[in-house]
Structure 1
């Protein structure tokens, strides 16, 4: 479909307009990131920068495509790759940012998750996730196992700090003297099946890497 026809149809579940000339550029990059996250967590879509909410084409000037791509990439977890195309309409340049649907839930680097609802972008709450990665069972939520997690998601510097805290608080305890894996298993911070190691919710929050927390529990922020 011709881009002019897309603009004439207005904003939809798959199309968002953003003004360039009327916006604070730093704030606009944050807003574009939020919109990109919303599209990635729904069915994908495009952001047309340089188009007003009413469809008026006001264009973009003094922009750097690479800076916009890197801004979205740096402000999303997992990192979101986007594509930018410059389209000239009536001697004005608009930026077409294409976002594909993500196979996993994407959050901003601040831990906020969005989704697309009609032509608006709304907060996306954990209870609404249709593809929950956490295996559930009746009992203590903190002991639930995060199946996609692995040994690589453990921050062993935090493990050592946790051992020191236990040693300081209970000098008679021998728990901290165990090897790291046994120590974590005894505290039910991990689940070990054969050679596979998975973090529990408590384990993720106590000794997970920042990247793992942002990936599996972006709402933890």
Structure 2
């Protein structure tokens, strides 16, 4: 895959990610949800988080800033990996996977860097863009999540150890397009590992001869 095609893939997914987030941010308030086509297991549920998996946070006054700066550095490294892989004519599986991971990381970084100064808060109200009362500062924005697929919800059997009798939801993660891109990219690297790194393995075998 050429770098141009990788750019097209990145831009297309990034636009879908940001358009969906801006729509949710300007049409929903925190905690609001709707059932898609009336389905219990497919909902749009608006939440915001610090940007780490499962809502985890780095403690401390500068935790959010540290997280955002770390992710910017990481995205720079992924961008170099993508460029280097295209230059070396690596497998399309690898290039697509890296492009997806890069796009997802960049999409969530945009939220973290800019959303805090673009929007006002979404608590008990629908946010407006370019508000004169932004909810945060540069590098302190929160990531917008909205896709929710609670496949099953109920109380677990009492005979189960540890979780017996407790309320349980499967699947309870709430995520966005950027998260899907990252997960898909990682999934490609895991499932198609041999094909993704076939070119590198071939070069290594030739070098050993």
TM-score (norm 1): 0.26
Higher relative contact order (CA 8 A, sep 6+): 2
Larger radius of gyration: 1
Whose strand proportion is higher, 1 or 2? 1
TM-score, normalized by length of structure 2?
A: 0.27
